[in-house]
Amino acid sequence: MAPPGPDAVVLDLDGVLVDSEERWDEARRELVADRGGTWSDEATHAMLGMSSREWSVYVRDELGVAMEPDAISDAVVERLIAGYRRELPLLPGAVEAVRRLGEHWPLGLASSSNAPVIALVLERTGLDAVIRVWLSSEEVPRGKPAPDVYLEAARRLGVEPECCTAVEDSHAGIRSAKSAGMRVVAIPNASYPPDDEALELADAVVGSLDELTVSVLTG
């Protein structure tokens, strides 16, 4: 029997389970440099939480890469997956935390990563046997901080969003889950921490995945 608390838990991927934000940043920077674009100081933060469609258009229009958005997305994902196959940058305690939560609640995953990236991570970790539903924000009209990806995750889990708890690390992710009506547990990303306004929206804040306990989820 599930303990008191949410009817389901929905996790983010990048920055929560995988230390990937810098990997994404590196892959995009490489593409922009290779294709004669110009990286801007605000590009990294501007693209945090964007869906693949959104950041690919940004790379084309704002960073000057003369490629179609789909081709930009495919090229960046190819670079990222190649790196993941060499070494998967899991955050400490990621697999253990997911399995711990999965003993008590149905789990979903709502990510801004492209579907092939999510599938690779879940397959490599064996968490595809624990997480019941997962989706990429490329499958919904708007990326984070819009609530679309969390609303769809709740729908696929068959649970009302208000009865879900989300686990997030970034300002866009926290806002997305909160806008969907979910309770939010934040694990602030060390490299790209959420702004103070977003962090105040979180219902609980923990310092690491080891602190993501059943009691925190039922609090």
What's the pLDDT tens digit per position in 98-117? 999 999 999 999 999 999 99
Here the tokens at position 74 are 């495919």
Is 90 exceeded by the pLDDT of residue 190?
no
- Whose structure tokens read 């866009």? 172
The pLDDT value given to residue 1: 46
Do residues 201 and 78 lie in contact, with contact meaning Cβ atoms separated by under 8 Å? no
Could you tell me the pTM of the whole model?
0.91
Here the tokens at position 124 are 């490599």
Here the tokens at position 102 are 């999965």
Query: Which whole number is the average pLDDT over 126-153?
Result: 96
Which domains, from first to last, does the chain contain? 8-19+90-218 (3.40.50.1000), 21-86 (1.10.150)
Cα–Cα dist 69/60, whole Å: 7
Cα–Cα dist 98/113, whole Å: 18
